[in-house]
Structure 1
Amino acid sequence: MSEHDRTGPDIDLAAEEIRDRQGRRITEEYAERAAEEALQIARPGRPSLGTPGRHSPRVSFRIPEQTRRRAEQRAAEEGRSVSELAREALERYLHDTG
């Protein structure tokens, strides 16, 4: 078992003085901030489109170059992403076709 796989006993940061590698005291606020930064690194990318904390499935397909250029141009004009346009178009198609 590596050093990173082990968990030690809980520490009362208000009562115990623990310091980081730069000698700064670790407080509850410091620990919360560090945990949030670690989560941002560990879970990069866009937030889920459905239930928070759940993975949004990815759909991939090929299109002609001209269609891609037109989609990028329209998305830029509307201040949106090509993915947003594609999701909206697919949802509209599925709604209209029952």
Structure 2
Amino acid sequence: MSERETINGVPVTEEQITDWAAEAEAGFDVAALKKRGRGRPGRAATPSQVVALRLTPEELAYVDSRAEREGKSRSDVIREALAAAAA
């Protein structure tokens, strides 16, 4: 194996490849693989849509400050502001 073969910058060894091949030949637990899921968990019964939002440095600083103060994410703070504006 050449030194160019890496995973996250770490060279892959022949021993790793042999171990992976043995694991594959023994078979995988399909039920366990299906449970893993992909991506972030959903917020609701239906998929959410990602929306890009442009903020000035001052607006972003306010959002970040409030998020840190309240122990929330940027997204949570923005969603709460939208809900308050819609009420």
TM value normalised by structure 2: 0.61
In the TM superposition, what are the counterparts of 1:22-61 in structure 2 within 5 Å? 22-23=22-23, 25-26=26-27, 30-37=29-36, 39=37, 43-45=38-40, 47-51=41-45, 54-61=46-53
Alignment of 1:85 onto 2:77: yes
* Matched AA of 1:21: A
* Matched AA of 1:48: G
Unaligned runs of 5+ in 1: 1-19
* Residue in structure 2 matched with residue 7 of structure 1 by the alignment: none
Percent same amino acid at aligned positions? 22
Q: Distance in 2 between matches of 1:22 and 1:76?
A: 47
Alignment of 1:67 onto 2:59: yes
Root-mean-square deviation (Å): 2.3
Q: Distance in 2 between matches of 1:22 and 1:72?
A: 48
* Matched AA of 1:64: T
Higher helix share: 2
TM value normalised by structure 1: 0.55
* Matched AA of 2:49: P
